[in-house]
């Protein structure tokens, strides 16, 4: 019985030659992400902004988003956000944060008075300013500490050049993942933080697999050219990378299509994150070792010998 192979075992594909395209492309995407983050920003959810979130379902099966938005804005509580969820008459209405518990109660009273006749209230969430502030603080602290821990692990796990390459790849994946949130306008909430941390772990896993093979080959081949060594590292692990990425992507695609609206945003970001991490491990983290001056043990010995001869000649 022949096993399924998505990538040939003895491949000799030259991945390193594409670094002249992948580096400018990733740099451009990273710069665009930073600019969009500073100008447009993330679509923060109620977890971080505070306020009242109401999910409505039209009793007739068809929701009039424009009419709901016009009615909600007429309550006098500020501009409300209204968006349609799927195509079954579901609507999500976000009311701005109001002062005090009485203000939030008034929001719900007016909402029930205006929408009870045509809509069913399926879900109601209220987050006050104190809770939202604590969530922002704890979420930011959790992400920062997790990323710092991962970077420290990479620094002590590999040699200097390999560690720097892995750090560059991890930061690259985080930046582009944030760009996905900005471009798609997916709500950024506590679930989004879980998605980012999961993507960081996946990025770390993809990079460690390639770099472990790189380090193994460095010890085996003392004087092989760096570009050839890196190509050999990727080709020898490509079968595993392709299998892992495709199986993970198929699982996430099923969540996107059939998982429902509650986890759709998480699944979409994770699906994009898998693509980003796989691309990064092959075309960013590994090729950057060339520019970081990765030297094999035999090359280092020759360099030291040339230095000693030069000093002796002087």
pLDDT of residue 310: 44
First to last CA, the chain: 67
Q: Which pLDDT band, with edges at 50, 70 and 90, does 299 fall under?
A: very low
What stretch of H or E contains 95?
Answer: strand 90-95
Sketch the domain layout of the chain as residue ranges.
16-42+132-302, 51-127
Is pLDDT at 295 greater than 80 in this prediction? no
Is the CATH code 1.20.1640.10 the one for domain 16-42+132-302? Answer: yes
Q: At 219, give phi and psi (nearest 5°).
A: -75, -25
- Whole-number Å distance between alpha carbons of 125 and 106: 14
Cα torsion 47, 49, 52, 57: sign:
negative
- Whole-number Å distance between alpha carbons of 17 and 39: 35
pLDDT of residue 95: 79
Is the CATH code 3.40.50.2300 the one for domain 51-127? Answer: no
pLDDT of residue 294: 64
**Per-residue pLDDT tens digits for 210-244:** 888 888 888 888 778 888 889 999 998 888 888 89
- Whole-number Å distance between alpha carbons of 248 and 199: 12
Is pLDDT at 254 greater than 90 in this prediction? yes
Is pLDDT at 15 greater than 80 in this prediction? yes
- Whole-number Å distance between alpha carbons of 6 and 189: 36
7 Cα distance to chain centroid: 26
**Per-residue pLDDT tens digits for 92-134:** 888 777 766 677 778 788 888 888 888 888 888 777 655 556 7
pLDDT of residue 260: 73
């Amino acid at each position: 019985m022949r096993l399924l192979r998505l990538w040939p075992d003895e491949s000799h594909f030259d991945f390193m030659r594409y670094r002249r395209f992948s580096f400018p492309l990733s740099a451009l995407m990273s710069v665009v992400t930073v600019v969009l983050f500073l100008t447009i920003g993330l679509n923060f959810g109620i977890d971080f902004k505070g306020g009242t979130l109401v999910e409505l379902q039209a009793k007739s099966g068809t929701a009039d988003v424009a009419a709901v938005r016009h009615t909600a804005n007429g309550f006098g509580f500020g501009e409300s956000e209204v968006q349609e969820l799927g195509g079954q008459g579901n609507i999500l209405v976000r009311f701005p944060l109001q002062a005090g518990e009485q203000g939030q109660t008034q929001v719900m009273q007016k909402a029930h008075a205006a929408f009870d006749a045509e809509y069913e209230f399926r879900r109601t969430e209220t987050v006050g300013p104190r809770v939202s502030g604590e969530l922002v603080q704890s979420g930011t602290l959790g992400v920062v500490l997790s990323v710092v821990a991962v970077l420290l692990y990479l620094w002590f796990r590999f040699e200097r050049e390999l560690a720097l390459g892995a750090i560059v790849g991890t930061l690259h994946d985080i930046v582009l993942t944030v760009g996905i949130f900005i471009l798609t306008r997916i709500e950024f909430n506590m679930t989004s933080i879980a998605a980012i941390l999961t993507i960081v772990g996946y990025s770390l896993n993809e990079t460690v697999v390639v770099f472990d093979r790189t380090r193994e080959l460095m010890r085996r081949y003392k004087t092989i050219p760096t570009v050839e060594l890196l190509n050999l590292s990727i080709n020898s692990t490509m079968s595993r990378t392709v299998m892992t990425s495709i199986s993970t992507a198929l699982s996430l695609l099923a969540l996107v299509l059939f998982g429902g609206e509650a986890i759709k945003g998480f699944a979409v970001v994770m699906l994009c994150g898998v693509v980003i991490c796989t691309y990064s491990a092959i075309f960013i983290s590994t090729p950057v070792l060339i520019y970081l001056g990765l030297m094999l043990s035999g090359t280092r010995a020759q360099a030291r010998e040339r230095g000693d001869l030069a000093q002796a000649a002087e």
